[in-house]
Structure 1
Amino acid sequence: MKTPLSSELAPSTTTDPVELYNGAPPSFGHAMHKLFEFDPSYVNLNHGSYGSLPMPVRVACDKLSARIEANPDRFLRIECIHHWNEARARVAKLIGAETDECVLVNNTSHGVNTVLRNFDWNEGDIIIGTTTTYGAVSRAIRYLGDSPPHPQVSTFDLKFPISHAEILENWRKHVRQVTSEGGDLKQTRKVVAVIDAIVSNPGVRLPWKEMVAICKDAGVWSVVDAAHAIGQEVDINLSEAKPDFWISNCHKWLFAKRGCAVLYVPRRNHHVVKSPIPTPHNYHSPQDEHYDGPQDFVRLFEWTGTMDYVPSLSINAALDFRQWLGGEHKINGYTHNLAIAGGKHLATLLGTSVMDPEGGLTLNMVNVELPIPGDIKYSDEINSLLLNTLLVERNTYAAHYYHNGKWWTRCSAQVWNEISDFEVLADALKDACQKVVKFAKK
């Protein structure tokens, strides 16, 4: 049996960037730029959207790609599964789950779709989403509602700023109302709630564990969209939180190669997931001549068609990199504190305010109001104007969006950022916002 990928690709004394592992890592802040391959003039405050690949992880991926191409048959038919299982085991340990409760998929949207499309929907069933559910996931919920037997779609209204206590009070009321209606169908129908761990826009932390507990008490299935969670939320323990399903991208805050994600399904719910998307060659059909039960959950996901396995296997190198930097608490201590300080500084420079002044909803993404009047609503033209000004003219970016009658920016604080980056962004945002206001007056 081959040695594990992480040890096989361990840093040596060569001139490889990974040789840095033999010494101490750079200090957090701009010194970290040497470990990433950004355009030197680019100020990146939008890590949350697509992730950013560290150079040592990229080198490990390149080595793995070369090894695969040297003998694709041997790697894909024999060696790949050992490294896939190692990645599952390591990521499962990080999130407090059993190895065989975790499989790897392309991204969170893929994983959420896999879960939702494996439910046997019946007339009168209900899917709960929110007004801040990620666009692709919201559309997946809508698609299921549009398709026979047309499960009902119930939308929980979320408007920020709002406290966790208010969210939980309103969530409990909403779940109670949904589960109390339905007449004769009430006893037999299923209700499935899609819950964000961290909302994409606004970039705020939800009390998802408590929301899951409310669902459990009400007999409601919980599907947690945790796209931004792993690598940003420390001490995740899914064995204690007990969501019914939980999915998180590993290419965002964990530093793996895009795209890969972990899909967690506790053993008690393995029977729900009858097939990945697409259906693999080893699917067991009840119509098979010698059918003796469904395929093992993990084996269903081992091979769903020829694909590039490098992103999924890069989880091993990403975890090695994070350990070298000092581990989850050290990384997130720096990025959280910078998000809080940077958000306040940016708000002062823009003459506006942060969405979450107390910091209870903020992890590593901070939301700051933009100086654009609220009566200027979102349009494709305004979106393009903001993108071009920030990315093309100013070579910096933090996500922008319109929410609850105001324009906001969502800044992602990462290990390479410093407070001065928020000052560069402030200048670019002032320029962009002035152009938006001028455009809207035409």
Structure 2
Amino acid sequence: MSAEDPPRSIPGARLLFSLDPAVSYLNHGSFGALPIGVQRAQQRLRDEMEANPLRFYGTGLLDRVVHTRRHLASFLGADPDGSALLPNTTAAVSLVLQSVPLSTSDEVLMTDHAYGAVAMAVRRQCRRTGASARTVAVPLGAPAREVVSRIRAALRPGRTRLLVVDQLASATAMLLPVREIVAAARENDIPVLVDAAHVPGMLPVDVGAIGADFWVGNLHKWGWAPRGTALLHVAPAWRRRIDPLIVSWEQEQGFPLSVEFQGTIDYTPWLAAPAGVFTLRTLGVDTVREHNAALAAYGQRVVGEALGLAPADLPDPGGPGVSMRIVPLPAGMATTFPEAHALRQHISDKLAVETAVNAWGGRGLLRLSAQVYNRPEEYHHLTDHLPALLNEFKQR
């Protein structure tokens, strides 16, 4: 199947979600969407917690968290004993940054595809320690060999203390060859943090085979877990150095329990997360992935055509299975974060279509997601009205 034709819908899949039928929700990548069965599983846990809070928090909670972590780590090919559950990827990034020693002569290297909040966290930690934050440019659509070459050339042995790289970039939907990047950094003994926020559920992954010092992914996006569920995997050499951002009662246990146990936080998202994986497996993981990737490619094509873009103008994510695609917006439009936010809101208000709009490299990028609840007609609705809306927005 090519992007010329939309994929067949998965029977019954749309009914698994409680999304507003009056809205075309083409932005699963930002906050996900929770299947009804997972919502109910979490609500049962909330009911249990409120029926007897002391029993919920005091009897067997840690065992349940460990059991959940093992289940989710297994799904991702990660070592359960070297992994920890966290609220999200950005929380994990801050945890890693404070655990890697930095001084005034050191630097943290990122690519220009880094997620905005991650880049902010890197810069804040560098300000605190006197280190430098540096960015290497990776052209959109660059082949894997060029990506690795550019990053390898940017590394400064003896000075670069951490490399932060996306596995699948949020703003550009570009898939980076992280296994090869990690190998290149290892040649110079430089640790690597892989931001895989969008990977769990969307792409097959073997975290152990990637070999990164730190790898973190959100399960509340494409893994259908409740929001606030991420898994951080840490290589053995770093586990004793991980110090939680907040000290609580399991501090002396060390990683991962010292990170996971944070008193009276809400643990129900984590404990309900296996229900999301179960739902995904019930539909068929490969079936869902193939459908979503094909529909995203189809949506990119038809929206691109509506904006007068040729196939060569539409960036390829650089690998199969990616269910987010981007469409470059007209030159000069949404080139800053405030402008991008305003355009996204305008599309939502005027068309009842939820998308993502990002400013990257001096260009506005419309990001389209595809999930099992989406239909080709939703992308057609966008194509019917987007050109006129963009002209209207330009004249504001």
Structures share fold, TM-score greater than 0.5: yes
Q: C-alpha distance in 1, partners of 2:69/2:216?
A: 13
Contact 2:335-2:360 at 8 Å conserved across structures: no
Q: Which amino acid aligns with 1:278?
A: I
Identical residues among aligned pairs (%): 28
- What SS class does the counterpart of residue 326 from structure 2 fall into? strand
Quote the residue 2:325 is aligned against. 366
Once the two structures are superposed, the pairs formed by residues 194-273 of structure 1 within 5 Å of their partners are 194-234=164-204, 236-273=205-242
Q: Does 1:351 align with 2:308?
A: yes
Q: CA deviation at 1:61?
A: 0.7
Sort the Cα spacing of 1:385 and 1:144 in 2 relative to 1 into closer, same or farther, 3 A: closer
Once the two structures are superposed, the pairs formed by residues 317-332 of structure 1 within 5 Å of their partners are 317-326=275-284, 328-332=285-289
Q: Which amino acid aligns with 1:111?
A: A
Q: Which amino acid aligns with 2:332?
A: G
Q: CA deviation at 1:437?
A: 1.9
For residue 161 of structure 1, the aligned residue among 133, 138, 141 is 141
**Count of matched residue pairs:** 387
For residue 303 of structure 1, the aligned residue among 251, 261, 268 is 261
Contact 1:277-1:304 at 8 Å conserved across structures: no
Contact 1:385-1:436 at 8 Å conserved across structures: no
For residue 129 of structure 1, the aligned residue among 92, 110, 113 is 110
Structure of greater Rg: 1
Q: CA deviation at 1:359?
A: 5.3
- What SS class does the counterpart of residue 297 from structure 1 fall into? coil
Q: Which amino acid aligns with 2:324?
A: M
In the superposition, the TM-score normalised over structure 1's length comes to 0.83
Q: Which amino acid aligns with 2:112?
A: T
For residue 283 of structure 1, the aligned residue among 251, 267, 288 is 251
In the superposition, the TM-score normalised over structure 2's length comes to 0.92
Contact 2:248-2:262 at 8 Å conserved across structures: yes
Contact 1:29-1:418 at 8 Å conserved across structures: no
Sort the Cα spacing of 1:111 and 1:358 in 2 relative to 1 into closer, same or farther, 3 A: closer
Contact 1:104-1:312 at 8 Å conserved across structures: yes
1:67-106 residue CA offsets vs partner (Å, 9 max, x unmatched): 1111111111113223212211111111112211111001
Q: C-alpha distance in 1, partners of 2:34/2:334?
A: 36
Q: CA deviation at 1:222?
A: 0.3
Q: CA deviation at 1:237?
A: 1.2
Once the two structures are superposed, the pairs formed by residues 362-441 of structure 1 within 5 Å of their partners are 363-370=322-329, 372-374=330-332, 377-378=335-336, 380=338, 382-383=339-340, 385-439=342-396
Q: C-alpha distance in 2, partners of 1:405/1:86?
A: 46
1:385-426 residue CA offsets vs partner (Å, 9 max, x unmatched): 423321122111211123334322110111111222211122
Q: CA deviation at 1:308?
A: 0.7
For residue 51 of structure 1, the aligned residue among 4, 28, 32 is 32
Q: Does 1:65 align with 2:34?
A: no
Contact 2:334-2:340 at 8 Å conserved across structures: no
Structure 1 unaligned residues grouped into runs of 5+: 1-26, 180-185, 285-294
> Which deviates the most, 45-54 or 350-359?
350-359
Task: Provide runs of 4+ in structure 1 moved above 6 Å.
Answer: none
1:1-35 residue CA offsets vs partner (Å, 9 max, x unmatched): xxxxxxxxxxxxxxxxxxxxxxxxxx845842211
